[in-house]
Amino acid sequence: MKPFTVWFTGIPGSGKTTLSRLLTSHLCGNGISCAVLDGQDIRQLTGNLLGFSASARKVHAVYCAVAASVLNDAGVCVSASFVSPTRDSREEARRIVGDDRFFEISLICNPDLAKARAPNPAWVGIHVAYEESKQVDLQVDTTLDGPEQSLKLVLAMLHERRAI
């Protein structure tokens, strides 16, 4: 098996962190080395050094993609959860990690439900517009599908693509 990165993206509160952790638990439980890279965790660890401007968000995504690539090179799968609101930041992440080992999972969620779930609901869809991807490997509507059903969809895609 070739190590890969699953990049969960979507508005805050869409379920990125929940699905990322579920996927990691599943993979590790099946003997596959996997690490979580979570945008909020990384920002807390770095003391929010980069801020939230458009350029700072892009730099943050690039740094995280580099970390994912290094982990993949070391034989570790990565389950990443980032808002990464701009299409170009996700395309750059795919380029850095490598198209052959990068899976973008776009999480769609009703904005009202996302606001209720989000740790920082005040900025959901207000300060940053979320650009839909042109190249997505899977789209999951977390308004309709709960965490376990969403995980099944992700695992089915990874099986179909022969990643696992």
* Per-residue pLDDT tens over the stretch 67-87: 999 999 999 999 999 988 889
Residue 11 tokens read as 């508005």
Residue pLDDT, tens place only, 30-70: 999 999 999 888 888 877 677 777 788 888 899 999 999 99
E strand or H helix at 134:
none
The one catalytic residue in 14, 84, 89, 106 is 84
19-34: average pLDDT: 98
pTM, 2 dp: 0.92
Among residues 12, 30, 42, which one has the least CA distance to residue 120?
A: 12
In terms of Cβ atoms closer than 10 Å to its own Cβ (0-12, 13-18, 19+), residue 112 is: exposed
Q: Return the amino acid letter for 77.
A: C
Please check the confidence at residue 124 and state whether its pLDDT lies above 60.
no
Cβ atoms < 10 Å from Cβ of 156: 11
Architecture in CATH of 5-160: 3-Layer(aba) Sandwich (3.40)
Of 57 and 95, the structure prediction assigns the larger pLDDT to 95
Residue 20 is among the residues annotated as catalytic for this protein? no
Q: According to the model, what pLDDT value does residue 120 have?
A: 63
